[in-house]
Amino acid sequence: MFKVLSVIFIIIFSSSAYSSAATVEPGKLVGGIRSTLPDWFKESFLDISEDIEEATDSGKHLLLYMHLTGCPYCYKMIEESFKNSKNTEVIKSNFDVVAINIRGNNEVTLREDLVVTEDQVRDHFRVSFTPTIVFLDEENRLVHKVNGYRSPETFRYILDFVRGKSYKNMNLAAFIEQQKRQIHYTLREHDSFQSIKNLKDNSDEPLLVLFEDKYCELCDQLHDGHLKNPEVIDLLDKFTVVRLDTESKQTIIDIDGDLVTADDFAKKLDLTYRPSIVMFDKGKEVTRIDSMIYSYHFAGHLRYVADRHYKEYPESVYDYLRVYQEEVLNSGKNIDLSK
């Protein structure tokens, strides 16, 4: 009888120990930083037509600042371009700024016939990155959209482009070319770069095209950071990687079979940010990185295409990242959004 009880005790104890060992403490999302918005942002009832009318009466454009609580990119841009910056007075003098939390539930009247909640504004303006900044003219027309973080220098070009109404005569790329720009960067090589002039006749691998130029403020940061990350290097091995200098006059055959310069190709893709990365598969664009993002999101975008997760999540890379995030956290690992 004693032996039987001993065996039962051992079984119960072993099962309990196994259960405790098998239970994993979920990981955490870390690195989020909460922004404190400037007190001069407009206190709006979120009736956009009314806000536009008031801005127009003051000789201004309306700027919609779409953000997310805890977004490190939002924090960086608020601190660098909206607070205590050379851009601050330019913004205050030429724009009425209305903040919209893209996961909020406040009612927003975009037009008399279109009333949505804040989180639905995200879909209306096709927001992929935060912050996203939308500029509207006096007719409630979108005249420019900024996808993600921009440095103060680059953002100033955009502010000048909109406040001077240059959008009536040209696009942002043409406007920037007319400005006196500072040289920041000398092209650097990377082991993943391949010298390919015909992008249409690509292999079965996905194609990743990196656009750089000598005016690029963040290209050195890309090379010293993401392109030295072992995880990123492994992912790049799954791509055909081509780096294009948009200042070069050499021609290539682009993804559509057209003979173009790198700058022509960038303009065709409506790219103004450097460094920009556009990823293709089977001759079609899958996704792009045209703003500064940290390691977790950068590697996630590459993995989405490299491992062809886009086939399961065709609407957005962020649909895939939400699932991936849950898997990582459930495995007990933390995710740092700010590195």
Q: What is the 3-state secondary structure (H, E, C) of the chain?
A: CHHHHHHHHHHHHHHHHHHHHHCCCCCCEECCCCCCCCCCCCCCCCEHHHHHHHHHHCCCEEEEEEECCCCHHHHHHHHHHHCCCHHHHHHHHHEEEEEEECCCCCEEEEECCEEEEHHHHHHHCCCCCCCEEEEECCCCCEEEEEECCCCHHHHHHHHHHHHCCHHHCCCHHHHHHCCCCCCCCCCCCCCCECCCCECCCCCCCCEEEEEECCCCCCHHHHHHCHHHCHHHHHHHCCCEEEEEECCCCCEEECCCCCEEEHHHHHHHCCCCCCCEEEEEECCEEEEEECCCCCHHHHHHHHHHHHCCHHHCCCCCHHHHHHHHHHHHHHCCCCEECCC
CATH class of 207-336: alpha beta
Per-residue pLDDT of the chain in tens (339 residues, 90 and over written 9): 445 445 444 444 444 444 444 588 999 999 999 889 999 999 999 999 999 999 999 999 999 999 999 999 999 999 999 998 999 999 999 999 999 999 999 999 999 889 999 999 999 999 989 999 999 999 999 999 999 999 999 999 999 999 999 999 999 999 999 999 999 999 999 999 999 999 997 678 999 999 999 999 999 999 999 999 999 999 999 999 999 999 999 999 999 999 999 999 999 999 999 999 999 999 999 999 999 999 999 999 999 999 999 999 999 999 999 999 999 999 999 999 988
Q: Where are the domain boundaries for CATH 3.40.30.10 in the chain?
A: 48-177, 207-336
48-177, CATH topology level: Glutaredoxin (3.40.30)
pLDDT of residue 22: 58
pLDDT of residue 27: 94
pLDDT of residue 243: 99
